[in-house]
Chains A and B, each alone.
Chain A
Amino acid sequence: MSMRPGLRKLALAAHLTVSVGWVGAAAAYVALDVVAATSRDEQALRAAFIGMGLVAGSVIVPLAVATLLTGIVMSLGTRWGLFRHWWVVISLVLTAFAATVLVVETGTINAMAAAAADPSTTGGELRELGNTLVHSIGGSAVLTAILVLNVVKPRGLTPYGWRMQRRERRREPD
């Protein structure tokens, strides 16, 4: 199943927009996370936690879901396929893993944001909320690895891809 060139370009533009947007939004989140981890100022902490909640829930999660969906559409709609090439399989697994961890982690981020939005939460309590740096930096590293894989597209067929390619070559007239 191959998409027509116009549709393929549209899908590619959508995939690039949301996937690169995810990387950028993750970088913005890391900046807020660093403030949450290092600042002693109550107002800065409160703003950082509320910002983290907004960025994660309203930007990063939708972009992650959109990246996963448009990536699957791009794979199935082109000759790359979803399970034919190792770089596509690894990208899919890493993207699904990153999106799942993100959705689970959003619960904690929302809890932190809710606590920070509560005027009765003291500065001491805000400082004890902690941070999500392990997740945000680790997630950014995973996203960078996926991005590099998608740009380089290292060669290598999966056993399934190899069988499919041989079958297609046999069908082609000489």
Chain B
Amino acid sequence: MVTPPVGADEDAQDTYPGTPRWVIAFAVVAIVAIVVIGIVLSTGVGGSHGPQRHGPPDEAGTSDLADALAYRWAFHVERP
């Protein structure tokens, strides 16, 4: 990050030279990864996931076991 940017040939043109191919390739890989992760999560293959699993346990007890155990530990709820 210390050396000044070069880009002299890009500056010599009158119009923007366009988005570099490596950026487009990077974006394609990122989109494919996001789609794959979305499919994995929506089909349930990835198990319980998403921000909702970080909340406190609800009355139906649908949150993660870790959250439930931590809740019991934090509030000293005795084991039934």
Binding site for B on A (CB under 8 A): 8-9, 12, 15, 74-75, 78-80, 84-86, 90, 104-105, 107-108, 110-112, 114-115, 117-118, 120-121, 125, 128-130, 134, 150, 154-157, 159, 161-162, 165-166, 169
Contact = CB atoms under 8 A, between A and B. Distances in A.
Given A90-B26, A118-B72, A155-B20, A108 B1 contact: no
A111 B66 contact: yes
Interface in B15-56: 16-17, 19-20, 22-23, 26, 46-49, 51, 53-54
22 contacts: A74-B1, A84-B5, A85-B5, A86-B20, A86-B22, A104-B51, A105-B54, A108-B64, A111-B67, A111-B69, A112-B66, A114-B74, A115-B66, A115-B69, A120-B79, A129-B69, A154-B20, A155-B10, A155-B20, A159-B16, A161-B7, A162-B10
Q: Tell me what chain A mostly uses at the interface: helix, strand, loop, or mixed.
A: helix
Q: With a 10 A CB-CB cut-off, give which of A9, A111, A154, A166 has the most chain B CB atoms.
A: A111
A154 B54 contact: no
B6 A129 contact: no
Interface residues of B, number: 32
A169 B11 CA distance: 8
B60 interface: no
B10 A129 contact: no
B66 A129 contact: yes
Nearest to B27: A90
B73 A118 contact: yes
Contacts of B16: 159, 162
Contact of A75 (B1, B47, B67): B1
Given A108-B64, A154-B22, A115 B70 contact: yes
Given A115-B70, A155-B6, A162-B11, A90 B46 contact: no
Contacts of B64: 108, 111, 130
Given A118-B72, A156-B19, A156-B22, 12 more contacts: A78-B2, A86-B23, A90-B26, A105-B54, A108-B64, A111-B54, A121-B73, A125-B69, A128-B65, A130-B48, A130-B64, A155-B10
A125 B2 contact: no
Contacts of B46: 134
